[in-house]
């Protein structure tokens, strides 16, 4: 069990679940997330997770689920989310349903969805990482637009003059991609979405490509005397600053995230419940 200490003060919910699991004869270990030294992000201490773990219960919100999926992507252990946040689109279980949901898990009334993840590579900066939701290339510094050249499988597709661009998975399609006007894809769709952010044109729309594609985004140059400046962001975390001539390559990761879905909680039902309400 991995819990977000900011949302589960004194580990009250974690202790409650721990006691319930042990009362049912289950073996459970609590892995606390840690702040890294500069307080920019968190990580789970995956070295403490036994190799024979059958399930990871994540307590937090969507951000915690995304963090854990990235931390554990090579282990491919099924993840069950308990919502301690606000929206909870990725999390499967609400606090009031913890016991009944775990009983469903014990009775094998669930399925495991394989959610594709992205791998981003920036060779010049020596960066390689994963994202469950999206990679974003956004303007940096001043408020002016940046130029972004898009290639798919080495074929030039389009040049966008925009605030940035989003490369999203189906899981991430209900996040920043949706806010930027991109389409929602069902989780099982094997595809990636390329969505410009506030493009300086009326006819620039999202593009959906096969998940086997290789997407390359190169930073162009709007003004002759200065370089365009951008920042590459992985699942909401800034990773590398880019300038004219530099690029990021995004492909499907070799590993999928495995998300536990309980009976009666379809993607479309969750979308109606979560995305049609006022926050």
Active site residues: 62
CA 135, CA 74: separation in Å to the nearest integer? Answer: 19
Residue 3: name the closest of 52, 47, 58 by CA: 58
Q: Which tokens is 73 given? A: 């992507």
Please tell me what DSSP assigns to residue 144: S
Strands (DSSP E) found in the chain: 2-3, 31-35, 42-44, 56-60, 79-83, 93-94, 110-115, 118-122, 127-131, 134-139, 146-152, 155-162, 164-168, 191-197, 207-210, 215-219, 229-234, 237-243, 247-252, 257-262
Separation CA 83–CA 85 (nearest Å): 5
CA torsion through residues 207, 72, 254, 242, sign: positive
Quick one: how far is CA 245 from the chain centroid?
27
């Amino acid at each position: 069990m991995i819990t977000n200490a900011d949302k589960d003060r004194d580990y009250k919910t974690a202790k409650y679940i721990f006691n319930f699991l042990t009362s049912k004869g289950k073996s459970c270990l609590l892995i606390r997330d840690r702040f890294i030294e500069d307080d920019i992000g968190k990580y789970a201490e995956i070295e403490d997770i036994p190799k024979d773990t059958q399930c990871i219960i994540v307590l937090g919100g969507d951000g915690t689920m995304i963090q854990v999926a990235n931390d554990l992507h090579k282990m491919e252990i099924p993840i069950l989310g308990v919502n301690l946040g606000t929206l909870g689109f990725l999390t499967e279980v609400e606090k009031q349903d913890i016991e009944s949901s775990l009983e469903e898990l014990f009775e094998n009334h669930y399925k495991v969805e394989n959610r594709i993840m992205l791998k981003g590579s920036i060779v010049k900066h020596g960066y390689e990482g994963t994202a469950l939701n999206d990679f974003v290339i956004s303007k940096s510094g001043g408020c002016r637009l940046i130029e972004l050249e898009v290639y798919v499988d080495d074929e030039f597709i389009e040049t966008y003059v925009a605030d940035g661009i989003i490369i999203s998975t189906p899981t991430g399609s209900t996040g920043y991609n949706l806010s930027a006007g991109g389409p929602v894809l069902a989780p099982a769709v094997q595809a990636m979405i390329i969505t410009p952010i506030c493009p300086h044109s009326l006819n620039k729309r999202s593009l959906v490509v096969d998940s086997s594609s290789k997407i390359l985004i190169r930073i162009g140059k709007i003004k002759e005397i200065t370089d365009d400046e951008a920042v590459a962001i992985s699942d909401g975390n800034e990773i590398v600053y880019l300038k004219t001539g530099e690029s990021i390559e995004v492909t499907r990761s070799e590993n999928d995230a495995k998300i536990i879905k309980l009976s009666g909680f379809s993607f479309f039902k969750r979308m109606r419940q979560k995305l049609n309400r006022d926050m």
